[in-house]
């Protein structure tokens, strides 16, 4: 076929994810040795794409992220090399929002410790310290697609939802009250992070912000690991300032075996799988392939370096 494109992909994927292509492209992969002259690459979040890497592949025209975050891609270097960078901002929304809510419910209902009681043959709660979410405050740091969906579910549970986002004005969004970051941190019974990893957001959650939270609050992070200073988090948990934390992302990722955040009753760590439902994974790659093909065909795509 004259219009059949070649796309490099940096990891094996399921056949169901390939069926979407319907013969429009041939895939090659899964490492730099096979990238060769391919004009397009569909990538994950693991490998760094910098100026040196772009220089090695002068025929590359588009790098398309299977997901929303692109902090592993130097967009300035890509633009200098004439490479379009794409992401899929809608790809992980539903699955990641659901995982965020799952962590919130599991933590506030103390499922790790209560499950352990059942395994030990014990009946009853032991101590009745679980949080009832109806009437509690859900604080959202960032108010993008995922956070907005989390807000809707929180409201359905009877929670009061407040949020901060420097890109929004003071008008209400979905009935959510917008506030400054300090107020969101101070008022939240459950604080959920939904911002990208940038130099400005690194260790956004630190000793100071944790001390400003309600005693016994919960922290959820399904965004990016570097948002939290894990040493500070451990100190807050050990001191009883926080009742629990749910982390789908960590720094480093994965955490090494034996890390003090692992195996605690008050911490749930999942291995960066919030978007990895069967439908969610397929959506990630559909959007990534469609963006790559759109650039190669000269059609509109979700571009993050319009320069």
Number of domains in the chain: 2
- Determine which of 61-65, 172-176, 189-193, 300-304 has the lowest per-residue pLDDT on average: 172-176
Looking at the structure, tell me whether residues 85 and 103 fall in a common domain. no
pLDDT exceeds 70 at position 162: yes
Find the mean pLDDT for residues 89-99.
Answer: 93
- Choose the most confident range, by mean pLDDT, from 35-44, 230-239, 277-286: 230-239
Looking at the structure, tell me whether residues 204 and 286 fall in a common domain. no
- How far apart are the C-alpha atoms of 125 and 110, rounded to whole Å? 9
pLDDT exceeds 70 at position 2: no
Find the mean pLDDT for residues 222-238.
Answer: 98
Find the mean pLDDT for residues 28-41.
Answer: 78
- Choose the most confident range, by mean pLDDT, from 42-56, 107-121, 132-146, 293-307: 132-146
**Identified catalytic residue from 202, 203, 253, 282:** 253
pLDDT exceeds 60 at position 208: yes
Whether 83 maps to a domain, the answer reads yes
- In this structure, the dihedral spanned by the alpha carbons of residues 296, 298, 302 and 304, taken in order and rounded to 10 degrees, is 80
Looking at the structure, tell me whether residues 74 and 103 fall in a common domain. no
Q: What is the pLDDT of residue 4?
A: 81
The overall average pLDDT reported for the chain is 91
Looking at the structure, tell me whether residues 251 and 118 fall in a common domain. yes
Confidence at 3, pLDDT banded by 50, 70, 90: low
- Choose the most confident range, by mean pLDDT, from 56-65, 84-93, 155-164, 169-178: 155-164
Looking at the structure, tell me whether residues 147 and 246 fall in a common domain. yes
Q: Which comes out higher in pLDDT, residue 287 or 4?
A: 287
Instruction: CATH number of the domain at 80, please.
Output: 3.40.50.720
Q: What is the pLDDT of residue 69?
A: 86
**Identified catalytic residue from 224, 230, 283, 287:** 224
Of 162, 232, 224, which Cα lies nearest the Cα of 193?
A: 224
Task: Name the pTM for this structure.
Answer: 0.87
Range of the domain at 97: 93-269
- For residue 6, say if its preceding peptide bond is cis, omega within 30 degrees of 0: no
Whether 39 maps to a domain, the answer reads yes
* 237 touches 267 (CB < 8 A): yes
SS (H, E, C) 164-227: ECCCCCCCCECCEEECCHHHHHHHCCEEEECCCCCCCCCCCECHHHHHHCCCCEEEEECCCHHH
Active site annotation includes 272: yes
Looking at the structure, tell me whether residues 178 and 285 fall in a common domain. no
Looking at the structure, tell me whether residues 145 and 67 fall in a common domain. no
Find the mean pLDDT for residues 12-18.
Answer: 76
Whether 305 maps to a domain, the answer reads no
Active site annotation includes 281: no
**Identified catalytic residue from 30, 202, 272, 282:** 272
Looking at the structure, tell me whether residues 130 and 84 fall in a common domain. no
Give the whole-number percent of the chain exceeding pLDDT 70: 96
Q: What is the pLDDT of residue 1?
A: 41
Looking at the structure, tell me whether residues 238 and 288 fall in a common domain. no
Looking at the structure, tell me whether residues 114 and 262 fall in a common domain. yes
Query: pLDDT tens digits, residue range 236-262?
Result: 999 999 999 999 999 999 999 999 999
Confidence at 29, pLDDT banded by 50, 70, 90: confident
Active site annotation includes 200: no
Q: What is the pLDDT of residue 90?
A: 87
């Amino acid at each position: 076929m004259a219009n059949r494109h070649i796309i490099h992909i940096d990891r094996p994927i399921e056949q169901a994810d390939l069926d979407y292509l319907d013969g429009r492209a041939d895939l090659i992969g899964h490492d730099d040795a096979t990238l060769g002259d391919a004009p397009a690459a569909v990538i994950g979040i693991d490998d760094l794409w910098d100026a040196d890497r772009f220089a090695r592949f002068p025929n590359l025209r588009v790098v398309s992220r299977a997901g929303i975050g692109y902090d592993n891609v130097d967009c300035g270097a890509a633009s200098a090399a004439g490479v379009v960078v794409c992401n899929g901002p809608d790809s992980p929304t539903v699955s990641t929002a659901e995982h965020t809510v799952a962590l919130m419910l599991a933590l506030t209902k103390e499922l790790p410790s209560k499950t352990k009681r059942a395994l030990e043959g014990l009946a009853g709660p032991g101590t009745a310290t679980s949080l009832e979410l109806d009437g509690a405050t859900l604080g959202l740091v960032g108010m993008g697609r995922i956070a907005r969906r989390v807000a809707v579910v929180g409201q359905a549970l009877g929670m009061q939802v407040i949020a901060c986002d420097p890109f929004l004005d003071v008008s209400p969004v979905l009935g959510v009250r917008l506030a400054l970051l300090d107020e969101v941190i101070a008022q939240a019974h459950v604080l959920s992070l939904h911002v990208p990893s940038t130099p400005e957001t690194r260790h956004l959650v630190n000793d100071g912000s944790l001390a400003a939270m309600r005693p016994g609050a919960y922290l959820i992070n399904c965004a990016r690991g570097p948002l939290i200073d894990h040493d500070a988090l451990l100190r807050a948990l050990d001191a009883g300032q926080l009742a629990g934390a749910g982390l789908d992302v960590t720094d480093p990722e994965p955490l090494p075996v034996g890390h003090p955040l692992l195996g605690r009753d008050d911490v749930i760590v999942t291995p960066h799988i919030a978007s990895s439902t069967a439908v969610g994974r397929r959506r990630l790659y559909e959007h990534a392939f469609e963006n790559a093909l759109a650039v190669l065909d000269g059609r509109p795509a979700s571009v993050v370096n319009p320069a």
